[in-house]
Amino acid sequence: MARLQDKVIIITGAAQGMGATHARLCIEAGAKVVLTDINAEKGQALATELGSNALFIKHDVTSEEGWAQVVATTEAQFGAVNVLVNNAGITMAKSILNTTLEDYRRIIEINQVSVFLGMKAVIPSMQNSQQGSIINISSINGLVGGAIGYTDSKFAVRGMTKAAALACAPYGIRVNSVHPGVIATPMVMQDDTRAAVEAFAKSIPLKRVAQPEEVSNLVIYLASDESSYSTGAEFIVDGGLTAQ
């Protein structure tokens, strides 16, 4: 049997980048996947490519009403939610002096508040079957310092994960966070940043950046029953960067 056979999974920010890779590999592992994103064109194209076990929903992750619709549509199409991958997020590299209140609130809403809303929305669906796995994608900047706003939100995801894990344990629902380092996504490996990223890679103990699949393989493990005793934990995928 496939590792995720018939598991119903919601993945946010799934139209491109790591989210798209998560979706593709989860489908290959036997899951039924709901892809959500604000980019309807790319999201729908990917869902069509992935076939009948994939469904795309245009989704603003900062909207509580939007989350309710996503869960209701998922249950109607595939059944109770087994796994949530809170993957949607944005980056920001401004200094604290150049960050406006509007900038700050936007990154907190997308990177942090959306994770709270997602967990709150799916837990009742998971409670019915007394099992589930919530996977919150944080960052190594949820462990060590980085840009203002982005670091704050990723530390918050780490903390929310632990709080939710304790609250959800009586229902058999596991909650873990994933902390990627430098990943070779289109956003990271743009023409104007590629040289800088490749130069930085020399400081990583494994001497390279990660491929998206290397994060997705960990997501699949946490989504599967193989990780049945892991909850409230941090899983780091950074080539040893934070071990230095």
- pLDDT tens by residue, the chain, 244 residues: 799 999 999 999 999 999 999 999 999 999 999 999 999 999 999 999 999 999 999 999 999 999 999 999 999 999 999 999 999 999 888 899 999 999 999 999 999 999 999 999 999 999 988 999 999 999 999 999 999 999 999 999 999 999 999 999 999 999 999 999 999 887 666 666 678 888 888 999 999 999 999 999 999 999 999 999 999 999 999 999 999 9
- The C-alpha atoms of residue 197 and residue 221 are separated, in whole angstroms, by 28
CATH architecture for residues 8-236 = 3-Layer(aba) Sandwich (3.40)
pLDDT given at position 198: 86
Q: Which residue has the tokens 């406006």?
A: 100
Q: Which residue among the candidates 150, 171, 221, 229 is catalytic per the annotation?
A: 150
Task: Reply yes or no on whether 104 is catalytic.
Answer: no
Please give the pLDDT value at position 192. Answer: 63
What is the reported pLDDT for 200?
86
pTM of the model: 0.96
Give dist(CA 136, CA 138) in Å, integer.
6
Per-residue model confidence (pLDDT) at position 156: 98
Q: How much is the CA Rg of the chain, to the nearest whole Å?
A: 17
